[in-house]
Amino acid sequence: MDWRDEGILISVRRHGESAAIIETFTAAHGRHAGVVRGGAGRRMSPVLQPGAILALDWSARLEEHIGTFRVDPVRSNAATVMADRAALAALGSITALISATLPEREEHPALYARTLDLIDALGAAPDWPARYALWELALLAEVGFGLDLTACAATGATEDLIWVSPKSGRAVSRQGAAGWEPRLLPLPAFLRDGAVEAAPDDIAAALRLSGHFLEASLAPHLPRAALPAARARAADALQRMKVE
């Protein structure tokens, strides 16, 4: 069995004296692990950095085996990301959430494309924090916990949607929320229209919204019934961006 693909490096861990086991998120083969011979050595260390985009050749005697990777670098955003504390924290959250939530070897082409776009933007594009907030909602949708922000859960209206029900994940209009506002979650406008221009307060509100559903809907299905700690670090780093 063998295949070729391009993928995002998610994690690296040492295997024996000189090899490494890497986990990648690939365009056509989903989250996929394999052994890299010499992956723990000095020559490969600069290549095998989480977030790097790699050309991958995977081979194994049987499809269910872990197999081995031959890797070639395509591009790395390490210099840009390392220079931005919040971007580095966001990258850690992206890789940790993918590793914890996506089933192994299951294709997610739309999420892969969005993740690739986000990683290329980290620390480089001024709108990357908004893209990260939108990415968390995309991840929730990909694993079956998507929010419905198209119409008010109470009235059916499609205008003036400014709240979300913390139970149903459906949008609520200003009129439909009357008297129930303290029990609802604010819905920043950029999450409805998919825009990537957002004020810091809106990004913070978006992360509180997605964080609620990550904790309430997704975390109970994860190992230890908890989100990766990297997600909290990213939310904290983005919050600090607002006041720095």
Which CATH number does the domain housing residue 204 bear?
Answer: 1.20.1440
Q: Please state, in angstroms and rounded to a whole number, the distance separating the CA atoms of residues 84 and 186.
A: 28
The domain containing residue 130 runs over which residues?
79-149+187-243
Please report the pLDDT score of residue 170 as a whole number.
98
- State the DSSP code for 78: H
Residues 111, 14 within the same domain = no
How far is Cα 27 from Cα 111, in angstroms, rounded to an integer? 9
| Same domain (yes/no): 28, 71 | yes
Do 93 and 65 sit in the same domain of this protein?
Answer: no
Instruction: Report pTM.
Output: 0.94
The answer to whether position 15 is within a domain reads: yes
The tens place of each residue's pLDDT in the chain, 244 residues long, gives 899 999 999 999 999 989 999 999 999 999 999 999 999 998 998 999 999 999 999 999 888 889 999 999 999 988 889 999 999 999 999 999 999 999 999 999 999 999 999 999 999 999 999 999 999 999 999 999 999 999 999 999 999 999 999 999 999 999 999 999 999 999 999 998 877 779 999 999 999 999 999 999 999 999 889 999 999 999 999 988 864 5
Distance CA 132, CA 119 (A): 9
Same domain membership, residue 26 and residue 91: no
**CA–CA distance, 60 with 224 (Å, rounded to integer):** 31
Domain co-membership, 126 together with 103: yes
Q: Is 13 among the domain residues?
A: yes
Q: Which one of 33, 49, 76 terminates a domain?
A: 76
| pLDDT at residue 242, as a whole number | 62
- Note whether residue 72 is domain-resident: yes
141 and 211: one domain? yes
93 within 8 A of 230, measured Cβ to Cβ: yes
The SS3 assignment for 229 reads helix
Contacts by 107-114 with C-beta closer than 8 Å and gap 24+? 107/28, 107/29, 107/30, 108/30, 108/142, 109/27, 109/28, 110/138, 110/142, 111/138, 111/139, 111/142, 112/8, 112/25, 112/26, 112/27, 113/27, 114/138
Enumerate residues 6+ apart whose C-beta is below 8 A from 61.
1
Query: Rounded CA gap, 42 and 53, in Å?
Result: 19
Q: Phi/psi of residue 34, each to 5°?
A: -175, 165
Q: Are residues 119 and 197 in the same domain?
A: yes
Number of domains composing the chain: 2
Structure tokens at 113: 């494309």
Tell me how crowded residue 121 is: count the other CB atoms within 10 A of its CB: 21
Same-domain check for residues 65 and 42: yes
Co-location of 91 and 68 in the same domain: no
CA distances from 123 to 18, 49, 114, 191, 225 (A): 32, 16, 16, 21, 31
CATH of the domain at 18: 2.40.50.140
